[in-house]
Amino acid sequence: MAGNALDADPKREDEFVRTRVEPLLGCSLDGASRTDLQTYLAELRSWGARLDLVAPRTQDEFLDLSIWDAALVAREEAEAGSAQHRIVDVGSGGGAPGIPLAIFLAALRGHCELTLVEPRAKRVTFLRTVCAKLTSVRIDVVRGRSEELEGGTFDVAISRATLAPDAWLNEGCRLATKAVWVLLARGDAPADGSWPIGRDIDYEWPLLGHRRRALRYAKA
């Protein structure tokens, strides 16, 4: 996608949200949540080609990559009763899954306290620009690396493709007090004796059919 942004397709986005995302969440997005999601996707397209934030080749890949993991995690966190917990997304980059996750949790439970952690200055600028335009959620953006954060600061930690799965689980367990999400495209699940797997979900991105695995580790 570098140097060549995907054209917007509002009709395709609306169809994806109505026929895929909302059934997964089990609710319809209200006006503010839908507008915020549209804002995020528009900004991601605009900035994405210049900053190499995402590299989808098609609209379907863009939607799967940007939204689906977040929708799945939002559903699980809402069912776990932790929508109001403090959540951290490490290595946020293009804002996924963190920003859509916050939007979906706010729609499900009315509130989400999210912190995005990203070390690269230009990506931090992107994240702060997007978050300043959102009305349904309040998101903090921290420039830095996760190891600079105080341990036990958050309830739930999530990251996608920032660290190797075992390294991320170790770091997530340091940051969180309740749960850590590990998102896998392939490979075995990492293990931590004091953080057993509470949820192990095999699923597919709906438009591309790519196999994924989401593991929620809960502190014993």
CA distance 52 to 63: 16
* Total-model pTM: 0.94
Rg (CA), the chain: 16
Q: Let me know if residue 1 belongs to a domain.
A: no
Question: Domain of 92: which CATH number?
Answer: 3.40.50.150
Residue range of the domain that includes 71: 10-218
Q: Let me know if residue 28 belongs to a domain.
A: yes
pLDDT at 81: 77
Tally of domains in the chain: 1
pLDDT tens digit sequence for 34-82: 999 999 999 999 888 777 777 777 899 999 999 999 999 999 999 987 5
Is the model's pLDDT at 127 over the cut of 70?
Answer: yes
Q: Let me know if residue 178 belongs to a domain.
A: yes
pLDDT tens digit sequence for 163-184: 999 999 999 999 999 999 999 9
pLDDT tens digit sequence for 192-213: 999 999 999 999 999 999 999 9
Q: Tell me the residue type at 16.
A: F
Q: Let me know if residue 4 belongs to a domain.
A: no
Q: What is the DSSP track for 77-129?
A: HHHTT-TTSEEEEES-TTTTTHHHHHHHHHHHHS--EEEEEE--HHHHHHHHH
